[in-house]
Amino acid sequence: MCARYTCPVCGYEGLENAVFVNGEYLNTFEICTCCGFEFGFSEDHDVVHGFITIPESFLEVAFQLYRKKWIEEGIRLFDSKSIPENKKNKDSLKFDVLVDQLKALKLDVSNFDIKGFEKF
Ligand SMILES: [Zn+2]
């Protein structure tokens, strides 16, 4: 089995390259097949945060903004073909799979100000 790393945005275990090594953020330019986040690009270009390039200490903010937008837009899979059948509904991630992935990232889903998370 080849090494797979967990996406810090959506929690999907499908990255071929680690995003952080020894606490350092790597611009791998790998795109998560699940949420579509491109590491080294999306944090500066796919979310609106008021910086031209985001300070490294604000990375988590970019992840959160992207995650919120991705969830609210319907958790569409970036590359549906590469996601196992049991995790998806057509081209979207299953909601319960999403919740498990977010919990695996140790995110407090009860604290989410995102549509669909009211019941948590
Ligand atoms: Zn992801």
Q: How far is the CA of 1 from the centre of ligand 1 (A)?
A: 20
Integer Cα distance of 61 and 58 in angstroms? 5
Q: What is the amino acid identity at position 75?
A: I
Cα 41 to middle of ligand 1, angstroms: 13
Per-residue pLDDT at 113: 82
**Residue type present at position 45:** H
- DSSP letters for the chain: ----EE-TTT--EEESS-SEETTEE-----B-TTT--BTTTHHHHTS--S-SS--GGGHHHHHHHHHHHHHHTT-B-TTGGGS-GGGEETTEE-HHHHHHHHHHTT--GGG--STT-TT-
Q: How far is the CA of 91 from the centre of ligand 1 (A)?
A: 14
Give CA–CA dist 13/5, Å, rounded. Answer: 5
Ligand 1 being an ion, which residues bring their Cβ within 5 A of it? 7, 9-10, 12, 32, 34-35
Residues 6 or more apart in contact with residue 120 via CB below 8 angstroms? 99, 109, 110, 112
Rounded to the nearest angstrom, the distance between the alpha carbon of 51 and the centre of ligand 1 is: 22
Q: How far is the CA of 119 from the centre of ligand 1 (A)?
A: 23
CA of 21 to the centre of ligand 1 (A): 17
**pLDDT value at residue 28:** 97
Extract the tokens encoding 106: 């140790």
Instruction: Give the Å distance between the CA of 118 and the centre of ligand 1.
Output: 22
Domain residue limits, the chain: 5-111
pLDDT in tens, the chain (120 residues): 467 999 999 999 999 999 999 989 999 999 999 999 999 999 999 998 888 888 888 899 999 999 999 999 999 999 999 999 999 999 999 999 999 999 999 998 888 888 788 877
Question: What's the confidence (pLDDT) of residue 2?
Answer: 64
